[in-house]
Amino acid sequence: MRAFHGQMSDNQPIRRTLAEKQKQLRDLRETLATMKSHTAPALRESVQKRIRQLESEVSAAPALKAGEQRNAPRPTGGTADRPRSPRRRPERSI
């Protein structure tokens, strides 16, 4: 069976918001703290590596967010401020 475009099996990275990244960072730190002394060194190192990656992403996020706000188009006056009414279906006569 083939995957359709956008399906999770397309081997695409999962996009997370800043809040989700911060939660994952807290969870990983807690996991690292609760690891036993006999835990495999490879597992411990992989968790530490992911913590370092998340820390760099979280620290870079405010700078990226400020850049996006600076480059975002500003709304102009006129009809853009007025909410649009939903489309009405024409009445059918029987």
| pTM of the predicted structure, to 2 decimals | 0.56
Number of domains in the chain: 1
Render pLDDT for 41-66 as a digit per residue (tens, 0 to 9).
999 999 999 999 999 999 987 776 66
Taking the mean position of all CA atoms in its chain, how far away is CA 69?
A: 17
In a domain, 90, yes or no: no
In a domain, 77, yes or no: no
Render pLDDT for 16-45 as a digit per residue (tens, 0 to 9).
899 999 999 999 999 999 999 999 999 999
- What range defines the domain where residue 47 resides? 17-67
Kindly list the distances between the CA atom of residue 77 and the CA atoms of 5, 18, 80, 81, 82, in Å, as whole numbers in the listed order.
38, 32, 6, 7, 9
In a domain, 94, yes or no: no
Burial 21-51 (b: 16+ CB within 10 A, else e): beeebeebeeeeeeeeeeeeeeeeeebeeeb
**What is the per-residue pLDDT for 14?**
76
In a domain, 62, yes or no: yes
In a domain, 24, yes or no: yes
Task: Label residue 5 by pLDDT band (50, 70, 90).
Answer: low
Please tell me the distance from the alpha carbon of residue 53 to that of residue 66, in angstroms, as a whole number.
21
* 36 vs 3 pLDDT, higher one: 36
Counted residue by residue, the chain has a size of 94
